[in-house]
């Protein structure tokens, strides 16, 4: 960005006040999180709770990291990676909510998308298991027998029989379109996206395509910026050591605002609590007041 373009992002904030707001936010949410943990939840609300727990851990980490950020700019690296994770969680929840069907209490389309989201993790589990079993089979002392190896593999594939196809003892992942077969075409944009993998760009484009551009746009700049810290580049030192007032502070505020928005969305779809929502919105208002031009 040119200097004049950066200046419109430049903002000075009180990190101490940011910490206070996040501490207050956690104190508001904690009793309701504990309530949800004690509640028997269906699959989608359970996924929402799991995401909320991720967000809570990330917020707790920010509270710990921010005091160091005041003293040393280099702490923007772990902080911005945490914030990238939070923006990604926001995108995921808003994406899933586009599949909510008021005529389907079972949330079939939403559950189907969660299954697609889970595919990468199941592939990871399979790869780790095969690596571990290969080691156990080839170790020098008490190597595992092939029968024992097969037993463990069969157990894994049996537990994930809805994900894998078996053909003469060989297992492959089912195609993505399989998991969306029961999704109504009108929800899946008349079926155009039936075999599409879910990426961050795919989530963003989905929000735009269903007319929710106001939910997509606040994520674009923060996610792009925080992603620059994901991989080493020749300009990484410049990014890390640059004055946070130039761009980081603005991105931090935008990402924290997304925390409040997605938390409200999660609670709306799990427990109805108007007082809780009001208190979270007060945190949002206090965040906006931090901007000093």
CA 131 to chain centre: 27
pLDDT at position 161: 92
The SS3 of residue 89 is: helix
pLDDT higher than threshold 90 for residue 179: yes
**pLDDT at residue 122 in the model:** 96
> Do residues 9 and 250 touch, judged by C-beta distance below 8 A?
yes
Residue 173: strand pairing partners: 164
Q: Which residues contact 270 (CB under 8 A, 6 or more apart)?
A: 36, 41, 45, 48, 49
The three-state secondary structure class of 247 is coil
Q: What is the pLDDT of residue 187?
A: 86
Write down the domain spans for the chain. Answer: 3-98+212-288, 118-199
165: left (phi over 0), alpha (psi -120 to 50) or beta: beta
Q: In terms of Cα–Cα distance, which of 162, 137, 132, 160 is closest to 147?
A: 137
pLDDT tens digits for 17-71?
A: 999 999 999 999 999 999 999 998 899 999 999 999 999 999 999 999 999 987 8
What 3 state SS string does 1-63 have?
Answer: CCHHHHHCCCCECCHHHHHHHHHHHHHHHHHHHHHHHCCCCCHHHHHHHHHHHHHHHHHHHHH
pLDDT of residue 6: 43
At 216-250, the pLDDT tens digits run 888 888 998 899 888 777 777 777 777 666 678 88
| 137 band by pLDDT with thresholds 50, 70 and 90 | very high
Residue 162: which of 173, 148, 149, 177 has the closest Cα?
Answer: 173
pLDDT score, position 1: 45
């Amino acid at each position: 960005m040119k200097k004049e373009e950066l200046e419109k992002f430049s903002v000075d904030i009180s990190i101490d006040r940011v910490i206070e707001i996040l501490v207050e936010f956690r104190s508001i949410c904690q009793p309701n999180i504990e309530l949800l943990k004690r509640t028997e939840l269906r699959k989608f609300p359970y996924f929402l709770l799991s995401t909320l727990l991720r967000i809570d851990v990330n917020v707790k980490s920010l509270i710990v990291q921010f005091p160091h950020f005041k003293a040393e700019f280099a702490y923007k690296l772990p902080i911005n990676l945490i914030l990238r994770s939070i923006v990604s969680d926001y995108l995921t929840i808003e994406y899933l909510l586009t599949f909510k069907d008021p005529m389907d209490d079972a949330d079939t389309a939403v559950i189907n998308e969660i299954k697609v989201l889970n595919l990468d993790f199941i592939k990871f589990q399979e790869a780790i298991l095969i690596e571990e079993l290969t080691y156990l089979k080839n170790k020098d002392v008490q190597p595992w027998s092939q029968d024992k190896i097969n037993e463990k593999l069969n157990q894994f594939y049996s537990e994930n029989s809805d994900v894998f196809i078996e053909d003469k003892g060989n297992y492959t992942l089912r195609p993505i379109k399989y998991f969306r077969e029961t999704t109504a075409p009108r929800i899946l944009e008349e079926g155009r996206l039936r075999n599409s993998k879910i990426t961050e760009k795919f989530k963003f484009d989905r929000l735009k395509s269903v007319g929710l551009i106001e939910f997509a746009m606040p994520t674009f700049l923060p996610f792009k910026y925080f992603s620059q810290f994901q991989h080493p580049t020749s300009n990484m030192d410049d990014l890390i050591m640059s004055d946070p007032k130039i761009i980081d502070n603005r991105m931090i505020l935008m990402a924290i605002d997304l925390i409040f928005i997605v938390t409200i969305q999660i609670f709306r779809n799990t427990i109805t609590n108007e007082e809780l929502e009001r208190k979270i919105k007060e945190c949002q208002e206090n965040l906006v007041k931090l901007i000093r031009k």
